[in-house]
Chains A and B, each alone.
Chain A
Amino acid sequence: MQLLHGARRAPAVLADDEGRRASAQARRGSPLALAEIYDANHTRVRQLARRLLGDDAAAEDLVQEIFEQLPRALKRFRGASSLETFLFAMVVNRTRAHLRGAIRRRRALERLTREPTAPAASLDDDLHTRRRAAEIIAALDQLPLAQRVAFVLCEVQEMSAGEVSKLTGVPEATVRTRVFHARRRLRDLMQPGGGS
């Protein structure tokens, strides 16, 4: 089933020079520049946050936090990477703080509703898709954070090991090793009777 209902606003990714201009203005407190950056990047930032956290509400909290703190954080932005990479790094760096609450809430919700999937899915979402997503999220919850981040970035977000290395500051070989171990652990966890 096609779930691509379309983003509310088409993500118009800012070109690097536009990104630098908007960043400079947002850093000085321009709300219009912040709105421009938000509109151009929120869809991809949210997508990554949802994939890392497996929880829509926690992902929205994270997205809000990132864009609220962006004007101050941009003081560290030198333009060496794209603005999107800078935002992705903010997501990854803040994942740990949000993940514990997300896991706790997911387990509580699972007990409450026996429906461990994201609470805000569309009414017509395919049940199998939701179950499969819930299954891998539950398995990801059992991985160390570093493996989880590497796996989601490489396998779900489809970034290369080199890109992930730049984003996380971890050597490329280490990224590959983490993905390898994550995949192996997920296979074990997701076997019938594997504990996921």
Chain B
Amino acid sequence: MRKRSTDRVALGVAALRQLTDHDGPLAAVTRERVLAGGQPRGRQRVLAVGIGLAIAAVASGAFAAAMLVRAPREPSPVGSMVAVRSARSPAPLAAIASPPSPDVSAEEAPTAAASDDELARYGAAHRAHFAGKDPAGALRLWSAYLARYPRGRFVPEATYNRAVALVRLGRLDQAIAALRPIAGGRFGDYRRQEAALLMSALSGRRSESTASH
């Protein structure tokens, strides 16, 4: 019995290690918040519980139906979750999109300037997406950011938000195509679950729409 329970401890340790070896889905959100100068942390919990409940709902097969019921006026439940999150947020990244602080040394100036441009472009797209409620403008700015910085620091966020903008514009096929690499794990766990859920819901809507025509 002692041996067996010792094994349970070892198995538990191994499992805990395994489950915490990757960043988890909230990591990118935290990065944005830290670099934006901090925002209320309690919403991480809301987001986590939301994701947990979404997973539970998917398991019971109810989630897709719920999404479709809501779909006519709000095409993207995940997008709306993002919108709710950001509607209460000050313009993220505004702090780092501002001119470099005077302590930046001369030898880093070229890097700093390049980063500033990237941050400014990202910040502009972010504002159009979340604050401006202008999906067409946001789509243009996200696409421009990704074209200019295909290996930039915010490619995962830009790729996901661009997909959400496509959803909002009703360009479902393009949205599904944009979500596919995220759901496939190109960016690790970042938005992977949401992308998969969204793709599934969009595929359902597209089939429904095709059938009704």
Contacts and interface: CB of A to CB of B under 8 A. Distances in A.
Contacts of B112: 32
Contact of B21 (A4, A31, A130): A4
A137 B20 CA distance: 12
Contacts of B44: 57, 60-61, 64
B125 to A, nearest CB: 18
A136 B15 contact: yes
A123 B58 contact: yes
Contact of A64 (B12, B38, B189): B38
Contact of A125 (B19, B42, B100, B104): B19
Given A56-B26, A60-B24, A133-B12, A31 B18 contact: no
How extensive is the interface on chain B, given as a class?
35 or more
Interface stretch (A42-50, A75-83, A86-94, A167-175): A42-50
Interface residues of A, number: 67
A100 to B, nearest CB: 14
B15 A133 contact: yes
Contacts of A133: 12, 15-16, 18-19
Interface of B: 1-2, 4-6, 8-9, 11-31, 33-35, 37-38, 41-42, 44-45, 47-49, 51-53, 55-56, 58, 95-96, 100-101, 103-104, 108, 111-112, 115, 153, 156, 185, 187-190, 192-193, 196
Q: Which 10 A-B pairs have the closest CB atoms?
A: A119-B52, A136-B12, A132-B15, A57-B48, A133-B15, A31-B96, A50-B20, A57-B45, A61-B41, A191-B5
Interface of A: 3-9, 25, 28-32, 34-35, 38-39, 42-43, 46-47, 50-51, 54, 56-61, 63-65, 67-68, 105, 109, 113, 115, 117-123, 125, 128-133, 135-137, 139, 155-156, 183, 186-188, 190-192, 194
Given A6-B185, A34-B35, A60-B24, 12 more contacts: A29-B103, A42-B23, A42-B31, A57-B49, A60-B41, A64-B38, A109-B52, A136-B12, A139-B12, A155-B13, A156-B16, A190-B5
